[in-house]
Amino acid sequence: MDASIPRSNNLLSPTQISFFLPKRLHFAARTRFNCPTLHMSAPRILVVDDHDIVRQGVCALIAAQPDWIVCGEARTGRDAIRLAAELTPEIVVMDLLMPDLNGLDAARQIKKHLPSTEILVLSGHEETELIQSVFDAGIRAYIFKSQARTHLVPAITALLAHKPYLTSRISEVLFRRFEQQQTAGQEKEGRADAPLTAREREIVQLLAEGHSNKEVASSLAISIKTVETHRASIMRKLSLDSLSDLVRFAIRSKIIEP
């Protein structure tokens, strides 16, 4: 299934998005979705989340802002990469744990090819190492989904000026991480996924999601032999003995959801 989402279909009603959108903005959001007015200077924002209700709530918040345009939507990291290349948005609002390709690895690829595009991670996960990995990837804003109503618009505003945006909760997480590293005398990041290349992480995710070597090869447009070589290298690097070990690693490293 193509994970890019037509802009005119499956929109939530104002009642359904009320947990995201203040009541005073319901009419504005509905008007902007049905009758968009594009301006040459309007910031273009790509929204990526595999949960329809979250993605549409985020789109409603964005569309309620004067001259902000939701230029596209996607359900997977791989489609986010494709749409970002096609649309060159100023901002990508990205979930982390998604099928096919997770948001962190998708964000790394988008930043590699579109360094001026800013990425805002919108996630429900509060694990210290995961958040640290996001900022290590060059992403400058991370907010929790539970705080979207309060922080989404200010975060996007900051990123449009190419400034970082940190909530107090994220600042506390990063500070705790810094203290842990200082206490342990760590000079390295010490992340579980550090030994893996971007391509290896893609393969880990697809294998952990249950795809065969042939399906992985087809998805990534590489040969089965190349998949087998990567798979052997991954197992050796991580000292894993079986596919179930690989699945546990992927879950522990937040590459896939349990």
211-219's contacts with Cβ under 8 Å and 24+ in sequence apart are 219/100
What is residue 184's predicted lDDT score, i.e. its pLDDT? Answer: 57
CATH assignment of 23-177, given 3.40.50.10860, 3.40.50.1370, 3.40.50.2300, 3.90.230.10? 3.40.50.2300
Closest among 124, 94, 118, 122 to 106, alpha carbons compared: 94
Sheet hosting strand 44-48, strand order edge to edge? 69-74, 44-48, 91-94, 118-123, 141-144, 165-166
What is residue 181's predicted lDDT score, i.e. its pLDDT? Answer: 62
For the entire predicted model, the pTM comes to 0.67
The C-alpha atoms of residue 111 and residue 105 are separated, in whole angstroms, by: 10
Please check whether the domain covering 198-252 is classified as CATH 1.10.10.10.
yes
What is residue 241's predicted lDDT score, i.e. its pLDDT? Answer: 82
Alpha carbon 212 to its chain centroid, in Å, reads: 25
Per-residue pLDDT tens, the chain, 258 aa: give them: 445 554 434 444 444 444 455 444 443 333 344 434 444 579 999 999 999 999 999 999 999 999 999 999 999 999 999 999 999 999 999 999 998 999 999 999 999 999 999 999 999 988 888 888 898 888 999 999 999 999 999 999 999 999 999 888 888 877 776 666 666 554 443 344 457 888 999 999 999 888 999 999 999 999 999 999 999 899 988 888 888 888 888 888 889 887
Q: Who contacts 232 (Cβ-Cβ below 8 Å, separation ≥6)? A: none
* Strand partners of residue 166: 142
Domain residue limits, the chain: 23-177, 198-252
State the helix-helix crossing angle for 198-208 and 213-220, rounded to 10 degrees.
130
